Amino acid sequence: MSEIITDIPLNRLPAIVAELGLKPFAVEQIIEWLYRRRVSNFSEMTNLTKQARDELAKKYKISAVEKAGVETAADSTRKFLCGLTDGNAVECVIIPAEDGRVTTCISTQVGCAMGCAFCRTAGMGFVRDLTQGEILGQLILAMRESPEPITNVVLMGMGEPLANLDAVSSSVELMLDTRAFGFSKRRVTLSTSGLLPQLDAFSRRFDIKIAISLNATTDEVRQRLMPVDKRYPIAAIMDFCREYSHRTRHRVTFEYVLIRDINDTMTDAKRLVSLLRGMRAKVNLIPFNPFEGSGMDAPLPETVERWADLLRENGIQVNIRVSRGQEILAACGQLASKAVIGE
């Protein structure tokens, strides 16, 4: 089976090009064809010699994902099922916003090992990490499918991105490289359940936006919802965030999924205010998106409003993240491939 060229990290391309007997500047040309023009065939790489194109086509395939299905919601959010070469599948979502931004939400693993109690992906268990070509393949598919240009990328789909650090890092490198996708670094966001050592390393290498899924204000509740809290409890997250915002001058975004009667009391809201005191932080309130078998409920709408008011009164920037594409289970954290879990 031929290798997939989009799986190759930027720093390995010179060696590949040399091996094929091409001039060093072919690296730039290949990057441009793959990630700026996003061709699907080597024959389209017209500034390479015929011989070079043939050699490449003999050794490599370009795409690691193919569109295996699409669902469109009433709010025009679209969810794609991306088939992988081994028969697995992941989902990515295109979310157009009223302000003209078009965000694509991308997966980083098939399933997830983190076991969060409120997350649909967690129910699949962990199957495997995605490769660079599979991560970027979702982005390329979204760019091809979206009638409007994709303006933002969020690594918030299936999986814990920092548990797949190598492929996620080399993918982010290509997202930011101006010769490749050339996204501005403030338009790419990585969301993590809080794997702190990996987050520290990643944040020293890439200056993209960071979001941390907090989802509780006591370790007791957070551990029940997110087993990762046993390793990296709330106090450690807060220490990291203070250091991070001091070092980078950036705000950390906290995601807080409000689940009725579990983490949505006003005592929790007040505790969150105390936790964030003196920190440059932003909070995304996400009403829990229930799914069959979750055994948990969405918060009452007035609870979400009361939380937002209290946080704002205390000078904290708040966004209520409306669940887009709810009926097609397209909200982040709602992704789980039917092909894999056999629904």
**Side chain identity, residue 15:** A
Half-sphere exposure of 206 (CA within 13 A, CB side): 27
Q: Is 284 in the site for ligand SF4 (CB under 6 A)?
A: no
Q: Which is nearer to ligand SAH, 129 or 255 (CB)?
A: 255
Q: Is 193 in the site for ligand SAH (CB under 6 A)?
A: yes
Residues 174, 10 contacting (CB under 8 angstroms): yes
Which residue among 160, 229, 264, 268 contacts ligand SAH (CB under 6 A)? 160
Q: Is 213 in the site for ligand SAH (CB under 6 A)?
A: yes
The SS3 of residue 156 is coil
CB of residue 39 to ligand SF4, shortest distance in Å: 32
Which residue among 333, 336, 337, 339 contacts ligand SF4 (CB under 6 A)? 333
Q: Is residue 311 within a helix (H) or strand (E), and if so which, with residue range?
A: helix 301-313
The rounded distance, in Å, linking the Cα atoms of 267 and 25 is 60
Choose the one of ligand SF4, ligand SAH, none that binds residue 52, judging by a C-beta under 5 to 8 angstroms depending on kind.
none
Q: Select which of 82, 91, 92, 116 is catalytic.
A: 91
The rounded distance, in Å, linking the Cα atoms of 51 and 318 is 56
Binding mask 147-166 for ligand SF4 (x = CB under 6 A): ------------xx------
In sequence order, which residues have a C-beta less than 8 Å from that of residue 291 and are 6 or more positions away?
A: 120, 329, 334
CB of residue 260 to ligand SF4, shortest distance in Å: 18
CB 245: neighbour CB atoms within 10 A? 16
Q: How many residues bind ligand SAH (CB under 6 A)?
A: 19
Tell me if residue 91 is catalytic.
yes
CB of residue 73 to ligand SAH, shortest distance in Å: 15
